[in-house]
Chains A and B, each alone.
Chain A
């Protein structure tokens, strides 16, 4: 490497050729370094994002180039009761699942933060549902919630609580409960472990001081833990809401939107319309309709992040 270093050690700042400029100018160098990542993100993220919005204004089908049809797809969806059902399902699913994930996740994080034997192993085990591919654990739930051979029905029958099998995924209410349960099951470890990481940054001396002043456990939580944890809660919950809202695989593996569309989310409905039925334009309109909700979630995340920086007194870099 020395032979490379020697010629450059000579001062050559006075008359830089264009080539030297390209090699040493900070902005150009930055540009070269950004090229690979930007190429991916522009060709496979930004461009499709725009294309998706454009497609939603056309009548494209699989194998046929579409023409601009204005807002026809949206008008069509406006009168489509299945679409509105899917919007309702998505909001219900997101709201219930996120609220419970937050409550259980925070509770689990507080429990794991206690001092106890096998702490590290327990924490590692708790995260396993998050590691295993969602589809594969969804299949396990599919089997657990089977209409005839469900282990839950069997246990409840043997405990004498019910007389006949519960039709878990065949009944609209039960199906919704089941998919929400599976989503919570998968999301809780993520919320718990990230909040646990936040909890560990809280200094124990604060609790000691509060306890000396006569604070109860609830007051400890309410006036120390919760305020210090707020910024990380904001970020974690934004992610959680975002991924719950756009969930696809869990539903697809467990119910495919059935029974009678009771568990169709906007993502699964757009897949069904666009890929299975071939109506790319209409499917794109459904997925574009998700964007306003996502923007709202992103705004919350942004302000959450700002607030955190402000709290920790970091400079904005």
Chain B
């Protein structure tokens, strides 16, 4: 697989153990002079990274700026603040439904992810290892399902959700999110299951294990890294989902963070920016923290689904 960070760590180990040339990418670097490297590599890289990260800096800065500094760009330097305030966060946590929304988002995301992963483990195992009649066709169909975007499904789904009496309940999201998650995670897990040797399963079959036992006791434990990748990626997708949550939920207390911030915080108040940015920051932080712990899994999920 393509665990970028792990691989670079491996390279470092090689480096410390033997001659510097063990790292192949170092092999030709003597062809480039230092000034040339600064112009062709470090300078463009710095610009791109600064542009990519600036909105987060701006979000964080705005969320701790006092109101009068937010709107008075002439008397205060807008790029920094010397007297940060947590007023906006206080307002968010104690004077709004924000904790509710955070809880809703988390609840929906975890339920939908667990449901999807369980369904995907079965489906992926059946497609890759049971190889029933038409397994390849089903695999192809699941890939096609991955390509069906929510923006063309939300209108008919709204009527379906209404018919089933799920409108304005978290269950509507828990049941519809798997349509986005199952194709992705099935495809990812198929790749992981393919790497598990057939021999292990054959041994277990000879010892009298049923398919169920093989799946639970052999295949799933060996595919744990893949499961973690799928779980994290699905969780992120759920947290990020917007159009279904916007369409299927109505009452303020039931909303998820992205929808609630867009709909409830955007009013005429010109001082709203502080709390708006605090809300956006608080809504992003859980994912960023999760990401920081599982970078490799995240990257392998992202690249795995594309490459498989």
Contacts and interface: CB of A to CB of B under 8 A. Distances in A.
B298 A127 contact: yes
B283 interface: yes
Contact of A133 (B116, B152, B209, B239): B239
A193 B154 CA distance: 30
Interface in A27-74: 27, 29-31, 33-38, 40-41, 43-49, 51-52, 55, 60
Contacts of B42: 116
B132 A27 contact: yes
B236 interface: yes
A298 B147 contact: yes
A156 interface: no
Interface stretch (A78-86, A94-102, A139-147, A170-178): A139-147
A271 to B, nearest CB: 7
A143 B240 contact: no
B198 to A, nearest CB: 13
B229 interface: no
A190 interface: yes
Contact of A236 (B158, B159, B306): B306
Q: Which range holds the interface residue count of chain A?
A: 35 or more
Contacts of A267: 151-152, 243
B120 A197 contact: no
A235 B41 contact: no
Contacts of A291: 152
B51 to A, nearest CB: 7
A45 B179 contact: yes
Contact of B130 (A33, A38, A128, A248): A33
B208 A128 contact: no
A16 B235 CA distance: 44
A22 interface: no
Interface in B263-308: 273, 276-277, 280-281, 283-284, 287-288, 291-292, 295, 298-299, 302-303, 306-307
B100 to A, nearest CB: 17
A267 B152 CA distance: 7
Interface in B75-97: 78-79
Interface in A87-132: 104, 107-108, 111-116, 119-120, 122-132
B138 interface: yes
B29 A297 contact: no
A134 B278 CA distance: 16
A130 B134 CA distance: 36
A185 B154 CA distance: 26
Interface string A256-272: 00000000000100110
B224 interface: no
A100 to B, nearest CB: 13
A196 interface: yes
A146 to B, nearest CB: 8
B23 interface: yes
Contact of A193 (B29, B56, B247, B303): B303
Nearest to A281: B155
B126 A294 contact: no
B258 interface: yes
B9 interface: yes
Interface residues of B, number: 111
A36 B123 CA distance: 8
B176 A29 contact: no
A37 B4 contact: no
A135 interface: yes
Contacts of A284: 155-156
A224 interface: no
Contact of A132 (B56, B153, B209, B292): B56
A204 interface: yes
Interface string A233-245: 0011001001101
Contacts of A126: 48-49, 52
Given A139-B277, A200-B2, A33 B123 contact: yes
B21 to A, nearest CB: 11
A185 B51 contact: yes
B53 interface: yes
A42 to B, nearest CB: 10
Given A143-B62, A252-B242, A290 B152 contact: yes
A255 interface: no
B55 A185 contact: yes
A129 B242 contact: no
B121 to A, nearest CB: 9
Q: Which of the listed residues A27, A40, A130 has the most CB atoms from chain B within 10 Å of its own CB?
A: A40
Interface of A: 1, 4-6, 8-9, 26-27, 29-31, 33-38, 40-41, 43-49, 51-52, 55, 60, 104, 107-108, 111-116, 119-120, 122-137, 139-141, 143-144, 146, 149, 151, 154, 185, 188-190, 193-194, 196-198, 200-201, 204-205, 207-208, 211, 232, 235-236, 239, 242-243, 245-249, 252-253, 267, 270-271, 274-275, 280, 283-284, 287-288, 290-291, 294, 297-298, 301, 317
Interface of B: 2, 4-5, 7-9, 23-29, 31, 41-42, 44-45, 48-49, 51-53, 55-56, 58-59, 62, 70-71, 73, 78-79, 115-116, 118-120, 122-123, 125-127, 130-133, 135-136, 138, 142, 144-145, 147-160, 175-176, 178-179, 182-183, 186, 194, 207-211, 213, 236, 239-240, 242-243, 246-247, 257-259, 261-262, 273, 276-277, 280-281, 283-284, 287-288, 291-292, 295, 298-299, 302-303, 306-307
